[in-house]
Amino acid sequence: MFLFAAIDYFAVTRTIDHFLKEGALDRAIGKKTAVILHADTGYLPLFWRGLSVRSDGLLVRGKSPRPLTELRAPNLRAYCSLTDLWQRKWTINRLQADALEVAFGAAAARQLTNIVPSEPELQPQVDQPSPLKLVIRETLVRQTNIFWGETPQTVGELRKVESKYYPNGQALDAIGTGGTFRQTECNRIAALTHHRQFEHLKLSELRGALQMD
């Protein structure tokens, strides 16, 4: 049993080394993320230091009829564990981003800022077999801005929300604190206490609860 586990461990680590040397890991993760989000996805180059990895940014662009128009996140950092590598599981204990901006709709997309320093190569939605199963236990975003609306008259937004995401089966639970809400047609900005389901942000089926102080 131990022998087979050791063989699996070294086989997987050799695969990771190959991905890193050839730059294939960036593209592979991009394609996998594209499949999950149903949108073309690209990461700026990944840089490794021990068991941590960082990227200067993530860019996601959706296509009709999907509701997601664009997603941007700068300065991604992941803290990994190889504890379950022998089971072909690559575990990220914590994934962090300085900011996250998401737009649903053409007018909403015009509210996005250039928080990603350059545009990465976007990968298509190609679900390729992988020797590793990726597990992310916790995702933390310091500041999240969400915009929606197809026309300027219908644009709404949530700004400066600190958000956290946790896996829940095939879904992803989202919890947010702080922030402001604005809906153009209401012509007001309000700090609020809010609890709702963000179906458009789902990964498979995302259940989101924003609780704002």
In this prediction, residue 131 carries a pLDDT of 64
How many Cβ atoms sit within 10 Å of the Cβ of residue 197? 14
In this prediction, residue 185 carries a pLDDT of 67
Number of domains forming the structure of the chain:
1
In this prediction, residue 194 carries a pLDDT of 41
The residue segments making up the domain with residue 65 are: 2-210
CA distances to 135, 141, 159, 189 from 205, rounded to whole Å, are: 17, 20, 23, 29
In this prediction, residue 37 carries a pLDDT of 82
Listed in order, strand segments (DSSP E) in the chain are: 39-43, 46-49, 52-62, 70-81, 89-104, 133-136, 139-148, 156-168, 171-177, 180-183, 188-191, 207-210
Burial 74-83 (b: 16+ CB within 10 A, else e): bbbebbbeee
24-37 and 2-22 are packed helices; what angle lies between their axes, rounded to 10 degrees? 100
Question: Per-residue confidence of the chain (213 residues) as pLDDT tens digits?
Answer: 444 444 454 555 555 555 555 567 778 788 878 887 889 999 999 888 888 889 999 999 998 888 999 999 999 999 988 777 667 777 889 999 999 999 999 999 999 999 999 999 999 987 777 666 778 899 999 999 999 999 999 999 999 999 999 988 767 788 999 999 888 766 444 444 343 434 334 333 333 333 333
Q: What is the pTM of this model?
A: 0.75
Two tokens at 20? Answer: 């890193």
